[in-house]
Amino acid sequence: MTYHREIQNVRAHIHTLRIALGVVALLALFMGWGWHNAPRQLTVHIPPDLRAGSTQPANEVPRANVYAFAHYIFQQLNRWPEDGSKDYGGNLFRLAAYLTPRFREELQRDLEQRGRRGELSGRMRGVRELPGAGFENRRVQVLRDGEAWVVWLDLEISESVRGMPVKEMTLRYPLRVVRYDVDPERNPWGLALDGFEGRGPERIRGDEGE
C-alpha cells in the first residue's frame, strides 16, 4: 500500500508539472507575440531643462521641444549667407522634410514672386531671436493636444545687398507646427512647419524696413 501511494503521489506531481509547463508555454507564447508586435523604434522627446526632473510619456512632445523645433527650422530656412536667389531655393529643398506640402508650396510661390521682383539677387539674410524672448510656456499654444501647436517667435531680421544693409526690423512670427511622422530617416523630430497662423507676421517695433 505504501508503494502504491508513492506511485500515486509521483503521478500527481507529474500531472502538476505538466500543467505548470503548459502555463509557462502559454506565457512564453504570449510574451513572444507581444515582443513581435512591439514597435521597433520609440521616440521620446526629452525636455531641455531637467533640473526638476521629468516624467515623459513616449510620443508626447513638450512645449519646449516644439518651440526649439520651430525656431531652429525657421532660422535655417531664412539664412541666406551668400545669395538669396540661390540660398532661398536651396533651403526649401534641404528642409523639405520639415515642411508640410501646403507650406512648401506657399514658400515656393514667395520665392518665385521675390525672384520676379529682383529682391533676391545678391541679397543676404539672417534672423536671430530677440534678447529675452526665449522659450516660455505662453509662447506655445496647443491647438490639438499632441497634434498641432502655434509658436510665437520674436526675431530680428537683418538683410544686406552686396554688403550694404537694406533691412533691420523685428517681427513676431506665429508659426503653426503639426505632428508629421512621415519619414523618420529624414525628419527625426516627427514635426513640421505648416505655415503662419492668423494674420501672419507682425512688427514688434516701428523699425525702418524697405
User: What pLDDT is recorded for position 43?
Assistant: 63
pLDDT band at 89; cut points 50, 70, 90: very high
Torsion sign across C-alpha atoms 110, 112, 118, 123: positive
Whole-number pLDDT of residue 54: 57
Compute the distance between CA of residue 130 and CA of residue 107 in angstroms, rounded to an integer. 24
Name which residue leads in pLDDT, 190 or 193. Answer: 193
pLDDT at 210 over 60: no
Neighbouring C-beta atoms of residue 63, cutoff 10 Å? 18
What percentage of the chain carries pLDDT values higher than 70? 84
Provide the residue count of the chain: 210
Q: What is the pLDDT of residues 162-187, one digit of tens each?
A: 888 888 999 999 999 999 888 888 99
Q: Is the pLDDT of residue 207 over 50?
A: no
More confident call, 23 vs 43: 23
Identify each DSSP E strand in 32-147 by its residue range: 123-129, 140-144
What pLDDT band is residue 132 in, cutting at 50, 70 and 90?
confident
pTM of the predicted structure, to 2 decimals: 0.73
State the pLDDT confidence band at 209, using cuts at 50, 70 and 90.
Answer: very low
- pLDDT tens digits for range 141-168: 999 877 899 999 999 999 999 888 888 9
User: In the prediction, which pLDDT does 15 show?
Assistant: 84
- 191 contacts 178 by C-beta, under 8 angstroms: yes
